[in-house]
A and B are shown apart, each in its own frame.
Chain A
């Protein structure tokens, strides 16, 4: 099988999901579209089983505080046989964002979802073991959200006092 074009993919996805997917774009040639948390598992299942996107490259998050739906969950899929990738974005509300888990489609989603939970606080419903993976267990904040200060508040050697201010 050769490489499938983005236009073909858009056509196949649109004819299946119609207005349940939106905002198609191709930044740097990478097909990108948005969907909702109600549709995401159906979209992923369709891509995996019918369009042969066998590999889940990554699940990650993003935070745009100025948007109405500020927390994003981003899926990257790769089809080895067709040599093509897609990116799917789902935006969620800021308070207690939650989305169904992709663990049942790809076991590799386990740690990716834990990481997204760790840094953005997204609850993945149905995940078998959703706890922090990289940060300390006793951390209470979600550090990649924009309101979180990145600098360590315990550090004293940068205080103005030491610079005569």
Chain B
């Protein structure tokens, strides 16, 4: 009788129930949004890696996170290449320079990535289609998410980067993540022209592709022994864990969205509690009657819990739909890779059920007052 009774109470006053649904919808939506941001930030930090082909990543022992990678001599790659597991080791160069062709005479900083286009180390088709463009002297590709303050990004535009004039050969689609406001891809030869004092002997990272069938974990272990303690070898899994830990624990991201998450959870409880306890209050004589004809407290508490659960589940479904829509808006507006995952969906559902049960627990207190003698 619990669920049908709860259903009847809820559908008796449709207007009030609709209100409850909107409230719980908003609270669950907010939980989704805060959680989305929380995970999107490390995802943004991993954007470049997610778009690169490698099984292992070689970095200096000073590597902190992608934007502070440290550096090591190119010659150290020789020992890596001689390992029996390794198919290809591609050096990756990072550099910052002034983009002296910004809007309004501004010189925004641009992040440059140097690599050998023949290595095809990047996944996006828009890069691999344009390797011929990258090979041309003083021609570069610009990320399509580069901000408007860099001026037009049309192919053929000549811009000054550092002290050198280069031609934009085209755009590619990857995203700027947390690399900077603008990102440029250059061949190693063009990278060396842009940073003449640095040359190509100092490398920031190396993307290692293993031979088919090689297991990354033991291969990484072998490489660690071969390269020594001043270099580190990341498997993809270890790299993801490392970057995520950086963004969630070293920056304010964790606490900002974490506290937002917590408060939206409490707000959700408050809404359901508000609705359910009002209903309990309004139906008090009826509950008292049920008690008088012999229904135990436990059964009435079950009805109240069923009411909360029904409201929350009914609010969850549209909130999930709205969250998916909102995620795509956020992706476009903020360039943050906010996305849904099954784990997060389940976690939010569990949180919603918890909201329902906690608010039911709070409302049941009012039910105890349902003494038949008092009501009549």
A, B: real partners:
no
